[in-house]
Amino acid sequence: MNWDDIRIFLALCRQGSVSRAGSKLGVTHTTVARRVNAFEEQLGTRLFDRSRDGYAMTQAAEDLYERAVEMEQTALAIDRAVGGQDAELRGQLKVTAPYDFANSVLVPRLGGFRQEYPCIDLELLTTTGLIDLAAREADIAVRLTARPPDYLIGRKVLPLQHGVYGAPKVLRKPGDAPEVILFRSEQNMPEWVEQHFPGARVALKTDNLSTMLAAVAAGLGLARMPCYEADRHRDVRRLDLELTPSTWGVWVLSHVDLRSAARVRAGRAFMVEVIESQASLILGERSRYMGGSVAP
Amino acid sequence: MNWDDIRIFLALCRQGSVSRAGSKLGVTHTTVARRVNAFEEQLGTRLFDRSRDGYAMTQAAEDLYERAVEMEQTALAIDRAVGGQDAELRGQLKVTAPYDFANSVLVPRLGGFRQEYPCIDLELLTTTGLIDLAAREADIAVRLTARPPDYLIGRKVLPLQHGVYGAPKVLRKPGDAPEVILFRSEQNMPEWVEQHFPGARVALKTDNLSTMLAAVAAGLGLARMPCYEADRHRDVRRLDLELTPSTWGVWVLSHVDLRSAARVRAGRAFMVEVIESQASLILGERSRYMGGSVAP
DNA sequence: GTGTTAATGTGCAAAAATGCACATTAATGA
DNA sequence: TCATTAATGTGCATTTTTGCACATTAACAC
């Protein structure tokens, strides 16, 4: 028997629906449904009655529930026994991250963090705009930058991949010189425009990625954006252009003073894992190009 | 944390090597090594010292061990709580299966059965020869047959796929009529020889599959064999011939009297799972043909 | 009555886990 | 000294698990 099935079972008992259980566990509701179905088949016993209201525990599930709670207690005790972390993995943890990156990459996985560290009160402070601010009274900062400030300690988890994106209808116009969409901070025409679209006019200047992406999707023009943001939009396409590589990366940082606190270490490790697990998105490996292909 | 990692950890503590732990758990040693490595990384603590003698527990592992045993007790209690099976999933279980099929398909996975049902004393009785005997005082019989005897109850899990096999050096000889290898029970030249190798001489008659396979591999001639046996030998090749399909199948059977006993039901379910999980082997999907290709 | 929300379920694609085959090494026995 | 055995470790292929996108349905609010 896969003991982890009991963990899934317990969450579903408590939440009453595969959707809510999935959110708590940091997985999709389809995963919860499949895991519980497989668990029932393996045990040869139905544990839940299914309805649109959710999953109701059967008598068999009631019989197992207390044992499942015991396993959870033991699992938590194992967690605490590792490195004597017992007193430290509780309290408040503030994480700051760029708004779009947080929404695209971090937030969907935070259910898993809460599951793993139920005694940590997580607070996510987002910053808007591409040019990130210094950490504002946060324990952990996720930063998209070429070089973090000296007073923050951490490492570059992944390089930040950029691409130039446009809407299909814009890209299909043969001969037309598309317009470009820039950030407010870009006073001069950037290199990728001079190099690939000389003479292009600026359709829009914006101060955040969401607006930029929405503008690209609406066909206002082309923009150079990080892949983690643009590739999530299925209606925009990336141009297969040679770009000066970005020197920026995804950094997970904390104040030098805080790096040894257990909950900060746990928080950083978790953020690193979440970022690494979406490497294909961040590195642009999911980009869609015109003609339906993806990059090799 | 994946609670199933604790189950792997516990097995490795007890066995002292990833090879032995893998055998006990019914997985490969590489799986055990990977799971434990990932578990250590996730905990941020080294649990084992590695050497060629095996994996020795660290102090951290010693600290966790008792908790892991507690989880195992709780997991076993959950097993027992399901359907009130407590008193039934213990005792002796005799399984009979054809010698070659048992060795090729069943034995590698029996570690998993012992893991899952530690209180069942498994006894495997093998029968030699292609033509199987009636069940000999066994609870469960795995049979390769077209039609099981009436006093045995069960189902055909998979059809049995056969092929004609030869050694590469035999198959490379252009124009040479290869000789054939038959079973002792085959008094007349079988149809596949008459159809594809008319006039072929018999190089050898044998009474068991292992000898037949060894003879094929040694280049004595061609033989028609079940794929589950031949495809495990990497030096023989299957001929892409049209054969009269075998009417035989892999059956999992038990006496009509015994089919409702919990340990018999558990045993049958497990055998079915093991057989189904090797469908690609049994159905000949792993056959190697001349020229290095595999069948589509 | 209609729109919204939130639930389950399904099929396909992507990601992760596992198996397999092999290399290497050390211990052991002949 | 050499062959055998049994261990760990690695790279690639295969299998399994999970995510994603979508469909459907029911309850609820307006």
Q: Poorest-confidence range of A182-196, B21-35, B38-52, B123-137?
A: B123-137
- For A181-237, where are the alpha helices, taking DSSP H only? 191-196, 209-217, 227-230
pLDDT tens for each residue of A263-286: 777 788 788 877 877 777 787 777
Residue ranges of domains in chain B, CATH in brackets:
4-84 (1.10.10.10), 91-160+247-282 (3.40.190.10), 162-239 (3.40.190.10)
Spatial distance from the CA of A51 to the C1' of C1 (Å)? 26
Within 8 A of B74 by CB-CB distance, chain A residues are 67, 70-71, 74
A77 CB contacts (<8 Å, ≥6 apart)?
B67
Task: Give the Cα separation of B165 and B162 in Å (integer).
Answer: 9
Cβ pair B75:A77 closer than 8 A: no
Confidence of residue B292 (pLDDT cuts 50, 70, 90): very low
Q: Which residues of B touch A (CB under 8 A)?
A: 1-7, 43-45, 60, 63-64, 67-68, 70-71, 74-75, 77-79, 81-83, 116, 269
In angstroms, how far is CA B180 from the centroid of its own chain?
27
pLDDT tens for each residue of A28-48: 999 999 999 989 888 878 899
Cβ pair B45:A269 closer than 8 A: no
CB B268 within 8 A of CB B252: yes
Spatial distance from the CA of A208 to the C1' of D30 (Å)? 35
β-bridge mates for residue B123, sequence order: B94
Within 10 Å of residue B80's Cβ, how many Cβ atoms? Answer: 16
Within 8 A of B4 by CB-CB distance, chain A residues are 2-5
In angstroms, how far is CA B67 from the centroid of its own chain?
34
Torsion of CA A203, A207, A210, A215, to 10 degrees: -10
* pLDDT of A134 higher than 70: no
Which residues of the protein are close to the nucleic strand D, CB under 7 angstroms? A 22, 26-28, 30-31, 34-35, 38, 52-53, 108, 234; B 17-20, 29-30, 33, 50-55, 277, 280, 285, 294
Task: Give the Cα separation of A195 and A164 in Å (integer).
Answer: 12
Task: Give the Cα separation of B187 and B193 in Å (integer).
Answer: 13
Q: What is the DSSP letter of A190?
A: P
Task: Give the Cα separation of B224 and B68 in Å (integer).
Answer: 50
Q: Which two tokens stand for residue B296?
A: 């589509």
pLDDT tens for each residue of B118-177: 777 777 777 654 334 444 467 888 888 777 766 677 778 888 888 888 877 777 765 666
Task: Give the Cα separation of B254 and A26 in Å (integer).
Answer: 44
Q: Which two tokens stand for residue A66?
A: 């207390």
β-bridge mates for residue A124, sequence order: A95
Query: Does the CA dihedral B240-B242-B248-B249 come out positive or negative?
Result: positive
In angstroms, how far is CA A92 from the centroid of its own chain?
21
CA nearest B41 in A: which residue?
A269
Q: What is the pLDDT of residue B107?
A: 72
Spatial distance from the CA of A234 to the C1' of C2 (Å)? 30
Strands B162-166 and B223-226: antiparallel
Task: Give the Cα separation of A248 and A256 in Å (integer).
Answer: 21
Task: Give the Cα separation of B189 and B198 in Å (integer).
Answer: 10
Query: Does the CA dihedral B182-B184-B185-B188 come out positive or negative?
Result: positive
Q: Which two tokens stand for residue B30?
A: 């590489």
Q: What is the pLDDT of residue A114?
A: 65
Report chain A's mean pLDDT, rounded to a whole number.
Answer: 77
- Over chain B, what HEC string results? CCCHHHHHHHHHHHHCCHHHHHHHHCCCHHHHHHHHHHHHHHHCCCCEEEECCEEEECHHHHHHHHHHHHHHHHHHHHHHHHHHCCCCCCEEEEEEEEHHHHHHHHHHHHHHHHHHCCCEEEEEEEECCCCCCCCCCCCEEEEEECCCCCCEEEEEEEECCEEEEECHHHHCCCCCCCCEEEECCCCCCCHHHHHHCCCCCEEEEECCHHHHHHHHHCCCCEEEEEHHHHCCCCCCEEECCCCCCCCCEEEEEEECCCCCCHHHHHHHHHHHHHHHHCHHHHCCCCCEECCCCECC
Choose between A1 and A113: higher pLDDT. Answer: A1
Which nucleotide's C1' is closest to A278 (Cα)?
A: C15
**Min Cα–Cα distance to chain A from B131, Å:** 33
Nearest Cα residue to A121 out of A97, A98, A89: A89
Confidence of residue B114 (pLDDT cuts 50, 70, 90): low
Nearest Cα residue to A26 out of A91, A97, A118: A118
Of B60, B71, B269, the CB nearest to A74: B71
| Coil/strand/helix, residue A29 | helix
**How many interface pairs between A and B have CB atoms less than 8 angstroms apart?**
79
List all nucleotides in chain D with at least one atom under 7 A from a protein Cβ.
Answer: 6-11, 14-21, 25-27
pLDDT tens for each residue of A48-73: 988 777 898 888 888 889 889 989 98
Overall average pLDDT of the B49-62 stretch: 85
